[in-house]
Structure 1
Amino acid sequence: MQTAERLRFSAEDYLAWEETQAEKHEFVAGEVFAMTGARQAHVLVSGNIHSALKQRLRGTPCRAYMVDMKLRVESADAFFYPDIMVSCHPDDRKAEQYLANPSLILEVLSDSTADYDRGGKFVAYRKLESLREYLIVDIEARRVECFRRTADNDWLLHDYVGEVACKLTSLGIQIPMSEIFEDIEAA
């Protein structure tokens, strides 16, 4: 993530400014960061997962959103563009610019964002009371790291590698690993 000309904004000013931009920018504590483009494998895996979620959530109050929908983490004074989010919250169904109550967030790792996705972003995401699962997809390792919030507000890791399917308990569904990594050639 690169800082966009070291611009500083309030959250409201950021939202107004972002609407006029050709490229996407994330916002953290007044600072704005330009988003970079994704590689083909990243786009394919994100699309595979979004498609699988959309099919499995049909007829439920839950909706799957792809990378163009912003997420607001008010307690972190931040706006992010997760690769995928699922929200079942009625307020998010009416949202125009951003969601605020996702139950699941998913990030597909890239070389430039892996440390941030596992570190600073996850710290901010954990502040969302609605969040039940955070998934990190590692394409090269063919791994899905699923962090689940426990009843004690701890986060428990379920590591899916070589498994048949990734179980998403927050949604009561599972997605076969072969479906997640469909069309991705072995390295």
Structure 2
Amino acid sequence: MASTAHNDNSGRSPALDPDADAPDHPGHEFAQFGAGCFWGVELAFQRVAGVMKTEVGYSQGHVPDPTYRLVCSGTSNHVEIVRVQFDPDVCPYTNLLSLFWSRHDPTTPNCQGGDVGSQYRSGIYYYNETQARLAQESKEAKQLEWKDKKIVTEILPAKRFYRAEEYHQQYLEKGGGRGRKQSAKKGCNDPIRCYG
């Protein structure tokens, strides 16, 4: 299927195709979230019971096989995302949504703290209609809490996932930039130091 996308004459980029990867286990699901720099977001999801695997990468852009440098240039429209593989019998999707909302400010367009750029935008990228509905309901509920500030989180179908370079994977668990490892143990509540 992917090979036909490369060969069609429409000029459409394969980066715009739906994420066609399958979870490692038949009963598991994928979810994609963009909530600023993917390092801290990934560690938060790693700690959730029922999350079987996390990967950081790029999605929602129009360039196939993007690199970190290209994504940071702001020219490809990719988002830094965490793709979460979870067991819905242990971890309902709503648990993931709650963590997503708690990890960032969804009212700041293309910005989380000192990180500025379209790759840091807030987004929920769904794999099925149930995820889409629950994401929209959670956004509406969260908007009531924010009152005067408008939530800018985009809710869109999950596009092709491009895994980020290996040094980004489990970056904070491995020690981050300062060599200070942070626990990814399930249920850990230690504060997350976003850059290590």
Highest relative contact order (Cα 8 Å, sep 6+), 1 or 2?
2
TM above 0.5, yes or no, is: no
Greater strand percent: which structure? Answer: 1
Higher helix content, 1 or 2 = 2
TM-score when normalising by structure 2 = 0.29
Provide the TM-score with structure 1 as the length reference: 0.30
